[in-house]
Structure 1
């Protein structure tokens, strides 16, 4: 119950999915949490639920495309709670109708994702780090993606922006480690967030299942617990790393499921 006791944490994109799970877990382990989201009403609901469960939380509006609002969010957290120790840069997304292959991608979508998925992470670090140094150190956790580590037929901008987050994480860790700032990332695979459940068809889910090493998909709490670990002193000697939380989807030779299927066919 006390893994991050009395720490002040900001979770962006905290109103749903991975962000919501992270915010609630941090609060359950003693952190004072700012739940920041574009959907302020939903963020207020999450903060209220945390308080009803005995935690400490406040909501904040965040448009991750607006650098001034990122700074305002961080300054507000420090004014409200006196310091800042944990920043979870979790905002991100893509538009699959526009984020296509390199020839056909919508250039405005490329620029939008660079701004929201990557620049917002950099700005969060930029404005949070001075406060963390003043507090004696801190932990930054960036949400990357397994799209950063493999090519795809589409989602070109998404993969590129998340790859940038992975390397930005290393740069922050390198530049501010001596000031006791740790910076790590989490790379989720398919996670059954409400958005994933609403938009991914059963057929696509079956394809993911075929290539997972584990016989199930991830839940938001699987990422939330990884965030909690990286935020805590249990991870005090871990920095610059990206932890892949993806059910073993990418670890094996990609031909393995097909060869197993072939072997079973011959056996029958």
Structure 2
């Protein structure tokens, strides 16, 4: 208990999806006052009430991450509620498998929408929160990126490009405001077994991902939540500009190693 005691955290996308909710809940459990900002306003307020029932301090507020004035309003709400903001978790992210395709066929309006929501929202949230962090004397910004920002794929070109932008914007914020005692880091999840993943991915697809993991299991929402908690806490006070890849070792090996091991096993059995 108390790893972020006395800090005030604004978590965007803190109610939509199990990852954001995990981040918000862990922050409050470890002593932070938490503002949960989400397009699902009712969900944000319900999450805040549940945190209060568990003895934490939280409030919910509406957020449209595609609108600058809404992001500004969420920061202003945090200041009104708790007097400052010392932790900002830019956690909003969208993807669209129907429109975000390969480069030739993707929907250009969808490209613009994902750049606004996934990347520009990180810029604006940081832009509006940093002056308050400077006034407070310190701050920690944590941006949710994705392994899609480090690799190529057959689809989701806009999503991957937007998340690559998040990775590098994280470095720029860290370089520009480090002397103000503001750290900025990112978290890049791989496949996380959220309810959406469990419900929408056939077991055969999950098995394909599992085949290429270095670890013999998939990630859970709290694996991301605890990483964000660490980056928000003073335990990570000498870490900045980094994006931690939380992906079970899925991308660390030669991509042919799994098939090669299968080949060796079959050859030895003959």
Q: CA deviation digits over 1:170-203, x for unaligned, max 9? A: 0000000000110000000001112222222211
- Distance in 2 (CA, whole Å) between partners of 1:215 and 1:135 is 43
The alpha-carbon deviation at position 18 of structure 1 amounts to 1.1
Deviations 1:201-249 (A, max 9, x none): 2111011001000010000100000000000000001000000000000
Please, which runs of 5 or more residues in structure 2 have no aligned partner?
none
After TM superposition, the score normalised by the length of structure 1 is 0.99
**C-alpha distance in 1, partners of 2:150/2:219?**
18
- Equivalent-residue separation in structure 1 for 2:164 and 2:230 (angstroms): 22
Unpaired runs of at least 5, structure 1: none
Query: Per-residue deviation at 1:266?
Result: 1.2
- 2:220 corresponds in structure 1 to 219
TM-score, with structure 2 as normaliser:
0.98
- For residue 96 of structure 2, give the secondary structure of its aligned residue in structure 1: coil
Distance 2:77 2:90 in 1: 16
The CA distance in 2 between the partners of 1:200 and 1:181, in whole Å, is 39
Residues 2-22 of structure 1 show CA distances to partners (whole Å, capped at 9, x for unaligned) of 111111001111113211000
User: Quick one: distance in 2 between partners of 1:198 and 1:9?
Assistant: 31
Query: What SS is found at the alignment partner of 1:33?
Result: strand
For the residues of structure 2 that align with 1:200 and 1:129, how far apart are their CA atoms? 39
Match of 2:142 in 1: 141
Q: SS of the counterpart of 1:59?
A: strand
Return the alpha-carbon distance in structure 2 between the equivalents of residues 9 and 82 of structure 1. 11
Q: Match for residue 129 of structure 1?
A: 130
Q: Where do residues 1-268 of structure 1 align in structure 2 (5 Å cutoff)?
A: 1-15=1-15, 16-268=17-269
